[in-house]
Amino acid sequence: MPIYEFRCGKCHHKFQKLCAMGENGQNLTCPACQAPGPTRVMSGFIVNNPGALAGSRGDSCKGCTSSNCSACKH
């Protein structure tokens, strides 16, 4: 079962819900204000390990002392 992200049309609260595949929000209510039928929104994602991205391009952050990959000078 995927986790979908929804936004309430009344209070604009954004929340996630573990739902059956293809759930559109029609049968849900907002957990903040109980309004029916929140809208499913496109979810984004982030990579939590900047070094993993650098290694996937063939370069590396070896020797870099910064915790911020944008500081690397490759």
Mean pLDDT of the chain: 77
Q: pTM here?
A: 0.56
Show the domain range for 14: 1-44
Q: Is residue 35 part of a domain?
A: yes
Q: Is residue 54 part of a domain?
A: no
Looking at this protein, which amino acid is placed at residue 1?
Answer: M
For the chain, give the number of residues. Answer: 74
What percent of the chain clears pLDDT 90, i.e. is strictly above it? 35
Q: 18: which 2 tokens?
A: 């573990």
Q: 4: which 2 tokens?
A: 């979908």
Whether residue 54 has pLDDT greater than 60: no
DSSP, collapsed to helix, strand or coil, labels residue 36 as strand
Whether residue 58 has pLDDT greater than 80: no
> What pLDDT was estimated at residue 13?
96
Higher pLDDT, 49 or 72: 49
Q: Is residue 4 part of a domain?
A: yes
CA nearest 18: which of 10, 28, 32, 8? 28
Higher pLDDT, 5 or 54: 5
Instruction: Report the C-alpha gap between 27 and 47 in whole angstroms.
Output: 32
